[in-house]
């Protein structure tokens, strides 16, 4: 391991050479908005919210999957990036049915908070209004496809932290859906351990505890990194 | 100084935005000193007047009457404000859009499939305005100048917007206090 020096928004930053731009920025107290990234899970670069500009590279790079390099010049908050981020958030709202007023995650939702952060006062795209269902067959949790942004945080939590790999993505593009096992009702899943890690990881109102009503669902994404660190350091015998 | 002509309109919404407006309590006296309310569901006026300065639109565009009215509003108002989530996003009013791209399917669902007694679509012509095939946010129909989200928008948020408009400024819609949906 060696240390490299780079600049982020003109500020000198040093980081381990295996760190990502996102990790280096966080270490230095520089905020980069993320949605599909969650500490403790692998990074997949799916949502593109963390895109940054790097001098000398003519395309934008996701901070969550880009390694730091010596002498790198990174900009995280240019007007161009601000414009793209707002478009990304607007597209997410237009793609499925987000009705914050009646959502379990109202007030505790990362998507909703990001809409505020990027200054979204309305959505300029036409809403798609897809007809999507909910899976309420599991005894403890529910999955509402209307609120899902396909970030795959639940899939990775279930696979990487719980080791169950109950959840996965079926289909492509606008038709993609989160499914349980071989696309069966969640309540009939033979692999789900009911651990609730997917519910901790989900940034929106898509996965929730059964019985939660409007604004009652509070996720605990930070618990996953805590679990992972505790395991790696063998803090528990389990 | 001539008073600002203010109109407020109630389209496809629950009237919660207007209730929140009334929650401005004693500030309504200050407002009354600065504006003249020329049209509103809480004032008995039949026709949307000419030359309005500011119009707050609560609710989404859900039926033919709404559609006609928003065009009149746009033609006669200097500033149009989408007032609350239903106006800004379609919100709860637009939840029926997932049933399909047709008013018929929605009416079927509500009046034929779900009722246990006397399933029948009410068809008294000329009384209830026909539904549009799809519920639309206001800006999908006419240009909107200010978006005031919230379900309902909290009274302090409404006040901040009206205060700015009275002073001839553009309201600063920034941060959780001003922008949170829901
Ligand atoms: S998931 Fe978040 S953004 Fe979507 S409706 Fe629920 S609170 Fe709003
Ligand atoms: S409860 Fe646990 S095992 Fe079941 S789907 Fe969620 S993360 Fe996977
Ligand atoms: S259910 Fe939640 S965590 Fe899973 S992909 Fe959808 S939004 Fe992401
Ligand atoms: S957070 Fe980097 S692409 Fe989603």
The yes-or-no verdict on residue B159 having pLDDT over 70 is yes
Q: Which of A150, A147, A151, A89 lies closest to A121, judged by CA?
A: A89
Residue at a domain's end among A36, A52, A76? A76
Do A160 and A181 fall into the same domain?
Answer: yes
Partners of B147 on chain A (C-beta within 8 Å) are 121-122
| Size of chain A, expressed as the number of residues it contains | 238
Average model confidence (pLDDT) for chain B?
95
| Numbered residues of chain A with Cβ closer than 8 Å to any chain B Cβ | 93, 97-103, 106-107, 112-113, 115-116, 119-123, 126-127, 129-132, 215
Q: Which residues of chain A have pLDDT under 70?
A: 238
pLDDT of amino acid B20? 98
Per-residue pLDDT at B100 = 84
* B52 sits in which H/E element: strand B52-58
Instruction: Give the tokens for residue B4.
Output: 């600002």
pLDDT, position A238: 59
Instruction: Specify whether A139 is located in the same domain as A227.
Output: yes
Chain B environment of A120 (Cβ under 8 Å): 179
Residue B4, pLDDT score = 97
pLDDT in tens, A181-196: 999 999 999 999 999 9
Statement: residue B123 has pLDDT above 90: no
> Residue B126 is part of a domain; what is its CATH number?
3.40.50.700
Structure tokens at A10: 């003109």
Element (H, E) at A101: none
What CATH number corresponds to the domain at position A204? 3.30.70.20
| The two structure tokens encoding residue A214 | 């409007």
Q: Which of A92, A100, A204 to mutate to test the interface with B (most CBs of B within 10 A)?
A: A100
Going by pLDDT thresholds of 50, 70 and 90, the confidence category of residue B13 is very high
Which tens digits make up the pLDDT trace of B37-61?
A: 999 998 888 899 999 999 999 999 9
Q: How confident is the model at residue B151 (pLDDT cuts 50, 70, 90)?
A: very high
CA distances for B117 relative to A227, B105, B112, angstroms: 55, 19, 9
User: Averaged over B76-95, what is the pLDDT?
Assistant: 98
What would the mean pLDDT of B131-141 be, rounded to a whole number? 97
Q: Which residue range(s) make up the domain with B91?
A: 4-179
Nearest CA to ligand 3 atom 2: A202
Quick check: A122 and B174 CB within 8 A?
A: no
Extract the tokens encoding A197. 């890690």
Q: Is A158 in the pocket of ligand 3 (CB under 6 A)?
A: no
ipTM, 2 dp? 0.94
CA distances from A56 to A13, A49, A73 (A): 18, 21, 9
Mean pLDDT in residue range B107-126 = 89
Q: Is A221 helix (H, G, I), strand (E, B) or coil?
A: coil
Q: Which two tokens stand for residue B161?
A: 């917007």
Domain co-membership, A109 together with A216: yes
> Is the pLDDT confidence value at B28 over 80?
yes
State residue B2's pLDDT score. 86
- Cβ proximity of B137 and B88 under 8 Å: yes
Assign B1 a pLDDT band (cuts: 50, 70, 90).
low
Whether residues A71 and A187 fall in one domain:
no
């Amino acid at each position: 391991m060696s240390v490299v020096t780079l600049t982020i928004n003109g500020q000198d930053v040093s980081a381990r050479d295996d760190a990502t731009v996102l990790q280096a920025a966080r270490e230095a107290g520089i905020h980069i908005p993320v949605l599909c990234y969650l500490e403790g899970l692998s990074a997949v670069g799916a949502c593109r919210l963390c895109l940054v500009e790097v001098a000398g590279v003519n395309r934008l790079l996701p901070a969550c999957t880009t390694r730091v390099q010596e002498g790198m010049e990174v900009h995280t908050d240019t007007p161009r990036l601000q414009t793209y981020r707002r478009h990304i958030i607007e597209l997410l709202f237009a793609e499925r049915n987000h009705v914050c007023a009646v959502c379990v995650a109202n007030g505790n939702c990362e998507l909703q908070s990001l809409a505020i952060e990027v200054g979204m006062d309305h959505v300029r795209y036409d809403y798609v209004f897809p007809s999507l269902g909910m899976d309420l067959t599991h005894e403890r949790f529910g999955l509402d496809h209307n609120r899902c942004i396909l970030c795959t945080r639940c899939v990775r939590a279930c696979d990487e932290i719980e080791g169950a790999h109950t959840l996965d993505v079926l289909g492509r593009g606008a038709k993609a859906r989160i499914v349980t096992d071989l696309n069966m009702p969640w309540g009939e899943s033979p692999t789900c351990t009911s651990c609730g890690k997917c519910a901790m990881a989900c940034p929106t109102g898509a996965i929730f505890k059964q019985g939660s009503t409007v604004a009652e669902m509070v996720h605990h994404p930070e618990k996953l990194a805590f679990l992972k660190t505790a395991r790696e350091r063998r803090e528990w015998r389990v | 100084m001539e008073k600002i002509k203010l109109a407020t309109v109630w389209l496809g919404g629950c009237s919660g935005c207007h209730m929140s407006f009334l929650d401005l309590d004693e500030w309504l006296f200050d407002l009354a000193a600065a504006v003249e309310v020329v049209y509103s569901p809480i004032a008995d006026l039949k026709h949307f007047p000419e030359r309005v300065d500011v119009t707050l639109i609560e609710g989404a565009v859900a039926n033919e009457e709404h559609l006609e009215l928003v065009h009149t509003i746009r033609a006669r108002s200097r500033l149009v404000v989408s007032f609350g989530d239903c106006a800004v996003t379609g919100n709860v009013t637009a939840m029926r859009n997932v049933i399909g791209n047709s008013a018929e399917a929605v009416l079927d669902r509500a009046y034929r499939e779900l009722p246990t007694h006397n399933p029948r679509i009410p068809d008294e012509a000329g009384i209830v305005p026909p539904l549009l095939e799809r519920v639309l946010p206001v800006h999908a129909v006419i240009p909107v100048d200010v978006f005031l989200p919230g379900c309902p928008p909290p009274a302090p948020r409404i006040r901040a917007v009206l205060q700015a408009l009275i002073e001839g400024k553009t309201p600063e819609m920034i941060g959780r206090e001003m922008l949170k949906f829901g």
